[in-house]
Amino acid sequence: MLIQRRPTPPEAAVAALMAAVVAIPPLLARIYASRQISDPEELKLETAGLLPPASLKGMPEATHLLWRVLQQQGRILVVSDFDADGATSCAVALRALRQMGFAHVDYIVPDRFTYGYGLSPEIVPLAIARKPDLIITVDNGISSHEGVAMARAAGIAVLVTDHHLPGQTLPDADAILNPNQPGCTFASKALAGVGVVFYLMLGLRALLREQGWFTAQGLPEPRLVDLLDLVALGTVADVVPLDRNNRILVNAGLRRIRQGRACEGILALLNQGRRPYHSLVASDLGFAVGPRLNAAGRLEDMSLGIACLLSDDAVSARQLAAQLDRINEERKRIEGEMRDQAMVALGLMQDQLDGAQEMPAALCLYDPQWHQGVVGILASRVKEQFHRPVIVFADADSNAPDNSELKGSARSVPGLHIRDLLDQIAAQQPGLISRFGGHAMAAGLSLDKSRLADFEAAFVSAAERLLDNDARQKRMLTDGAIEVPDMCLETAEILRHAGPWGQGFPEPLFDGEFELVSQRLVGDRHLKMTLLVSGSDNLLDAIAFNIDPLVWPDQSVSQVQLVYRLDVNEFRGQRQLQLLVEHLQPLTR
């Protein structure tokens, strides 16, 4: 583990922010400047600052297509992805379209184990059976060439809304809305799928307003800001970069939730995660709500999650949230077993290496007993521990007679664009990969089980070329040391709400040396500590989660180096400062 400090921002940049932003603390000004915030306008997160919908390529075609369907009161079928981004995208689409006067709107979520991802050829017959006039894909579709062609051949129009990176060609849809499609000048390429759907609804509302639709029908114009709780959840859960446009969306959604104005499903899921809505931050959505929602798509059917987000009845929402919580507990059990098995296999791999050898530049794992729905989480866990791009495979259908297809989930590290890497392998070895798609840091793929060894060799070889030894070192990038006067509850409160923090706009992380006054184990794997700041009499509470109980507590250690966040610990109505320790290293014994 290498602990590195962010470069100190120029004093002039910090001074400019302090001069332009009223009452901004020097520490926060330094943190913003180190995240390349130079213009105070970037800190203004009012929804009026959102990028205009008209700048999305395909918006006129998409909205006029919907307008034609609305005039005929045609039937719309939303085809969703089976993760939290897909579920929130589906909920935003259904809620907004119904408010705009569409009378026949339904949805379908492909079972990932039977029909695969997106508008696949396997799901199209089920869609046709619903007799829609228009299919809208949400958080998928940009790689669904065959499925789009089948639907249109059946006389069904197709509107693709997606944010994943397209391949060499686009599907022959009636309209495509995707900020990452060629020729799109939309300034933010980081929209999540739910963000794309929200923008579609903004564009549609503007068109219907121009057409006099709401007046003619006696309908109130939908308050689309009421849907930003869902947009915030999907954006955070999909771990897309929080550029300014996404920060505006997430900030507005968080504000609604803190006011208790979220949909009943989100409030119920927060209650299951024991996260008070009035003090919510973005990470609560990522760690407490997103996983419970994702669990349905991983193990069972994401229709349960979408139903929770669509529920306007508190009792029903709580019941659905409780079901999602039970599924998530099962997911954690399965994940734990898979992680233990993976670590045994990786331990054997390390044992076989001599002292001069390192782990391969990329890791490829497969076990016939692994659950297809959990391989993505396992890939993330292994990537975090070994700082290597990782692909974890499972059988696509363990009940199939030939059981010949594998489905994999990939996670990458900075410096290696995993979707582009898969594209290179597919171009160099046609037929090796059946299909793939994804982002820079995460992707999914399928291949024949008989080609696994060939794929692993190509994957590791490509990673060897693209990642030098320096890029394979795990790093923690911190904002440096913090002055003793700033180690207080007030600073923690300021930083807590100075975001929203997330991917691409990381929450402040500090490092420093402390005297370890006391230490004790809480639960099975959490270390509770009392610390003394060097050179002061300032006692601080701290906690490190998921430590190695074979190493800690260690009463022989009297001084430690920590990487930590300033956190607010709320217990029985009392709020106090707590250091949330991300890395713990003994200095003396």
Same CATH fold assignment for domains 53-324 and 476-588: no
The domain spans of the chain are: 53-324, 336-473, 476-588
CB atoms within 10 A of CB 369: 10
Cα 354 from Cα 106, distance rounded (Å): 58
Cα 564 from Cα 344, distance rounded (Å): 30
What's the fold here for domain 53-324? inorganic pyrophosphatase (n-terminal core) (3.90.1640)
User: For the chain, what is the total number of helices (H) and then of strands (E)?
Assistant: 19, 17
**SS3 state of residue 192:** coil
Measure the CA dihedral 234/236/239/245, to 10°.
90
- 442-448 and 405-411 strand pairing: antiparallel
- 510-522 and 475-478 strand pairing: unpaired
**SS3 state of residue 549:** coil
Give buried/exposed letters for 31-61 (b at 16+ CB in 10 A, else e).
bbbbbebeeeebbebeeeebbebeebbbbee
DSSP for 118-176, written as a single string: SS-TTTHHHHHHT--SEEEEES--TT-HHHHHHHHHTT-EEEEE--SPP-SS----SEE
- Residue among 250, 179, 202 nearest 439 (CA): 179
Contact 286, 239 (CB under 8 A): yes
Domain 476-588, architecture per CATH: Beta Barrel (2.40)
**Report field, pTM of the whole predicted structure over 0.85:** yes
User: What residues form DSSP beta bridges with 525?
Assistant: none
**SS3 state of residue 65:** helix
DSSP annotation of 505: B
**SS3 state of residue 43:** helix
**pLDDT tens for the chain, residues 1 to 589:** 788 899 988 888 898 888 888 889 999 999 999 999 988 889 999 999 999 999 999 999 999 999 999 999 999 999 999 899 999 999 999 999 999 999 999 999 988 777 777 899 999 999 999 999 999 999 999 999 999 999 999 999 999 999 998 988 999 999 999 999 999 999 999 999 999 999 999 999 999 999 999 999 999 999 999 999 999 999 999 999 999 999 999 999 999 999 999 999 999 999 999 999 999 999 999 999 999 999 999 898 899 999 999 999 999 999 999 999 999 999 999 999 999 999 999 988 888 876 657 789 999 999 999 999 999 999 999 999 899 999 999 998 755 556 789 999 999 998 899 999 999 999 999 999 998 888 888 899 999 999 999 999 999 999 999 888 877 888 899 999 999 999 999 999 999 989 999 999 999 999 999 999 999 999 888 999 999 987 778 899 999 998 988 899 999 999 999 999 999 988 777 889 999 999 999 987 5
CB atoms within 10 A of CB 177: 31
Cα 251 from Cα 111, distance rounded (Å): 32
DSSP for 256-316, written as a single string: HHHTT-S-HHHHHHHHHTT--GGG--HHHIIIIIHHHHHHHHHHS-THHHHHHHH---HHH
DSSP annotation of 323: H
Query: Out of 1.10.10.60, 3.40.50.720, 3.40.50.880, 3.10.310.30, which CATH number does the structure's domain 336-473 have?
Result: 3.10.310.30
